[in-house]
Amino acid sequence: TEVGGLDEAAAGRSVLIRGAAQAIRPVSKKMAFVVLRESMSTVQCVLVASADAGVSTQMVRFATSLSKESIVDVEGVVSLPKEPLKATTQQVEIQVRKIYCINRAIPTLPINLEDASRSEAEIEKAEQAGEKLVRVGQDTRLNYRAIDLRTPANQAIFRIQCQVENKFREYFLSKNFVGIHSPKLIAGSSEGGAAVFKLQYNGQPACLAQSPQLYKQMAICGGFERVFEVGPVFRAENSNTHRHLCEFVGLDAEMEIKEHYFEVCDIIDGLFVAIFKHLNENCKKELETINRQYPFEPLKYLEKTLKLTYEEGIQMLKEAGTEIEPMGDLNTEAEKKLGRLVKEKYGTEFFILYRYPLAVRPFYTMPCYDNPAYSNSFDVFIRGEEIISGAQRIHLPELLTKRATECGIDASTISSYIESFSYGAPPHGGFGVGLERVVMLFCALNNIRKTSLFPRDPQRLLL
Ligand code: ATP
Ligand code: AMO
């Protein structure tokens, strides 16, 4: 039986459950409570010594001697509690008949699960009441991630992440995209900009791919009209921020464009509205569980995603007192502020900003036909932070060589990529999303390390 499925309807049933002993509360020689946890759910198990039920005082003593987080099997009967239960997710109890310890945890764990599962508000309330408890810091959590991951909020976060990835695949398959896998060991950097991890490849200098960019475009040259990839992306940037990782999961797409690069924006619109809907409708328990530890407002989004030009964006910022260099990029502060302004004016926290100045985009970005100082490119934001970059690409080899050179890239180092466009290449465009950022921002979490199972940041490699 699964702990999460135990409800009032199960009252009177005999069950066998396995879980971790999250809390052990002796009451007397004849009575004890053991709270068992299985993923996001907890249930209270009641031991009462009684000859009728075949429960001895030794069994009660054995239960109270268990160490927290030991793995335990319990046989018992589901019953309704006399008063509503506050400390468990399930509103039923188990009257224990038999209890077995499958594997003991060491007596003193580096992280106390109950401390690690509390919200900031609960911690403050407990402190005001004079209770002594431990605030479990981010580093401690990551140093002992195998325990930290057991908190209900973490269980929920990675279930949400899995759903986002799954919906991404499902949506692309429904739109006739072909899933691909591009190499991660490559000879040169993929696109300039972010720093790369260098390594030796059979005596040759090589690096880890900083994106599937060049290969997903070459797949389009290879005759696949629409492709997508889910895979690791490596960035050696020394960015100690709340939103940068050195390795993250990239969700990438590339597609032929028939008439206009807004066809790519339409895919993003359909994809994300489908993801948000799916999470809100089918992941209620996960979202509530995250909310209990990290309270957040549901994401505001429109059925048809708002698109604003970059110029409109900087005009909005200007009117609100923030001057942006018109042909420069938005810094993190300006992006956040624009996010707030758009939310006030249009009632959405998810929008596309398009037509960026060409100078702030990568070399492969198509300049605007009407004004080459701008580009057919866009970024997408959730709650004022970037989750997607995308664009129409240059499919003309001469222009590609010219733009690479202007951006300081030696075109001879990417000659096979550039040549791919001389064999007949259709107009195309695409985008890249960071999976961890989508989950972090959908749930308004304050740090990307919370949405990475074993995060790689500039300081963290060993665990
Ligand atoms: P990507 O690098 O993939 O485009 P990003 O969100 O990292 O996505 P960047 O273009 O690197 O975006 O940077 C956008 C803004 O983020 C920059 O203008 C800069 O203000 C800010 N930023 C980037 N790296 C850092 C950093 N290490 N510390 C503080 N701010 C940073
Ligand atoms: P970009 O470099 O903007 O674009 O990356 C695309 C998306 O990946 C995520 N992201 C990150 N997530 C975590 N840690 C990081 N250090 C990090 N850097 C980026 C963000 C970002 O929006 N080739 C282009 C995409 C394209 O045009 O198709 C690219 O890599 O969510």
Burial class (CB in 10 A: 0-12, 13-18, 19+), 449: buried
- pLDDT value at position 193? 63
Helix/strand/coil percent split, the chain, to 5: 35, 25, 40
**Nearest ligand to the C-alpha of residue 382?**
2
Q: Which is the catalytic residue, given 118, 150, 243, 383? A: 243
- Alpha carbon of 333 to ligand 1 centroid (Å): 11
Q: Which is the catalytic residue, given 93, 335, 386, 436? A: 386
431 Cβ below 6 A of ligand 2: yes
What is the distance, to the nearest Å, from the Cα of residue 404 to the centroid of all Cα atoms in its chain?
Answer: 33
**Nearest ligand to the C-alpha of residue 389?**
2
The dihedrals phi and psi of 420, each to the nearest 5 degrees, come to -55, -30
Token output for 39: 């993923």
211 Cβ below 6 A of ligand 2: yes
Interacting residues of 28 by C-beta distance below 8 A, sequence separation 6+ = none
**Nearest ligand to the C-alpha of residue 244?**
2
Active site residue 165: no
- Alpha carbon of 73 to ligand 2 centroid (Å): 45
Report d(CA 296, CA 382) in Å as an integer: 14
Active site residue 237: yes
Which residue puts its alpha carbon closest to atom 27 of ligand 1? 239
Continuous H helices in 407-446 = 415-420, 435-442
Of 363, 375, 399, 385, the closest CA to residue 438 belongs to: 385
The end-to-end CA distance of the chain, in Å, is: 33
Query: For the chain, how many helices (H) and strands (E)?
Result: 14, 16
Residuewise pLDDT in 10s, the chain (463 residues): 899 999 999 999 999 999 999 999 999 999 999 999 999 999 999 999 999 999 999 999 999 999 999 999 999 999 999 999 988 999 999 999 999 999 999 999 999 998 999 999 999 999 999 988 889 999 999 999 999 999 999 999 999 999 999 999 999 999 999 999 999 999 877 677 668 999 999 999 999 999 999 999 999 999 999 999 999 999 998 889 999 999 999 999 999 999 999 999 999 999 999 999 999 999 999 999 999 999 999 999 999 999 999 999 999 999 999 999 989 999 999 999 999 999 999 999 999 999 999 999 999 999 999 999 999 999 999 999 999 999 999 999 999 999 999 999 999 989 999 999 999 999 999 999 999 999 999 999 999 999 999 999 999 998 8
- Alpha carbon of 264 to ligand 1 centroid (Å): 23
Active site residue 235: yes
Provide ipTM, 2 decimals.
0.89
Atom of ligand 1 nearest to the CA of 244: 7
Atom of ligand 2 nearest to the CA of 387: 31
Interacting residues of 400 by C-beta distance below 8 A, sequence separation 6+ = 363, 364, 394, 418, 421
Report d(CA 364, CA 395) in Å as an integer: 9
Active site residue 386: yes
- pLDDT value at position 86? 87
Rg of the Cα atoms in the chain = 27
Q: What is the pTM of this model?
A: 0.94
Contact 412, 212 (CB under 8 A): no
389 Cβ below 6 A of ligand 1: yes
Atom of ligand 2 nearest to the CA of 380: 22
- Alpha carbon of 137 to ligand 1 centroid (Å): 25
Report d(CA 345, CA 2) in Å as an integer: 46
Amino acid at 18: R
